[in-house]
A and B are shown apart, each in its own frame.
Chain A
Amino acid sequence: MTVSIADWFKETANWVFILLAIPTLLGAWRTVTSNNIVRSVLYLVVSLGGAAAMFLSLGAAFVGWTVVLVYIGAVIILFLIGIMITRAPLGMKAELSHASNVRMPAALLSLSMFVLVAWGLIDAFSNTAIEPFEPTPTSDIANLIFSRFVVPFEVVSIVLLAALIGGIALARRDDGGGA
């Protein structure tokens, strides 16, 4: 089944996708190119917001709002505080910026990763029609988490506990005894 470009634009969902994809990509691009690290973090908010909206447009409301709540709400805060506790001044630093001989391999690596994944996705799904789908209600997700996925659910608390203890061990002020 081949789809012409005209057909593609007839679909409203595709317009929504384009509308969300452009800010997501721009945000991601500016996150890595911005000279000011605080701006990078704020551009990341744009990118994450786009990703959250994309989940919403696919009917995955729970995942979308989780991205908003956890990533935009908490992880970004952690980023900003992480920046604030460093002593580094803002802005570009000549001795820290990558030499051009490192940029080339990095770009090649990113490109090859992109080609690999894009080729894989096109190879596997270019002929698959997307069926009309129903949005996933949060109750279904709850049913899954607390029955089938109860083991991973409890493991998440262990991961969080490890992060908590690790954070305490690294960030607590020293009052002697610590090496």
Chain B
Amino acid sequence: MLNQYYGDYITVAVFVAIGAILVGGAVAANRAIAPRAPGGFKDVAYESGIEPIGGGWNQSHIRYYIFALLFLIFDVEAVFIFPWALQLEFFSSIGSGLTVLVEMFVFVGILLLGLVYAIRKGVLTWE
């Protein structure tokens, strides 16, 4: 079983290795072949051919933070939903399916109420 398990991941490892080689090779080849003439306009950020205005680093609006936070929260929720979905059938076969269903509904419900509050308070409105 362990060998089977590792065998599955060797495929992943091979793909990671191929990816690394491709990227690394391309960068290395670029380094080796490309002519170098640094300085001048090459240090200017490319902005569709127009001369750039202001710096490249701008402060983003704080509302993006809420979206990222919501993404994180519901990501964690998803992590719990996968194993739950996997085993719900097993739980119902031993007679505690309803309990486990309610457990997940409570979990999701608490967060949904938080989301309802966020929406009603206009946190997610885009303007």
Contact = CB atoms under 8 A, between A and B. Distances in A.
Q: Do chains A and B touch in the complex (CB under 8 A)?
A: yes
Interface of A: 56-57, 59, 61-62, 66, 69-70, 73-75, 77-78, 81-82, 84-87, 89-90, 132-135, 138-139, 141-143, 145-147, 150, 153-154, 156-158, 160-161, 163-165, 167-168, 171-173
Contacts of B96: 147
Contact of A75 (B57, B59, B72): B72
Interface of B: 1-2, 5, 9, 55, 57, 59-73, 75-80, 82-84, 86-87, 90-91, 96, 100, 103-104, 106-108, 110-111, 113-115, 117-118, 121, 123
B107 A157 contact: yes
A142 B86 contact: yes
Contacts of B123: 168, 172
Interface of A is mostly: helix
Contacts of A66: 79
A150 B118 CA distance: 27
A108 B44 CA distance: 43
Contacts of B83: 62, 138-139, 141-142, 145
A172 B110 contact: no
Contact of B64 (A84, A133, A134, A165): A84
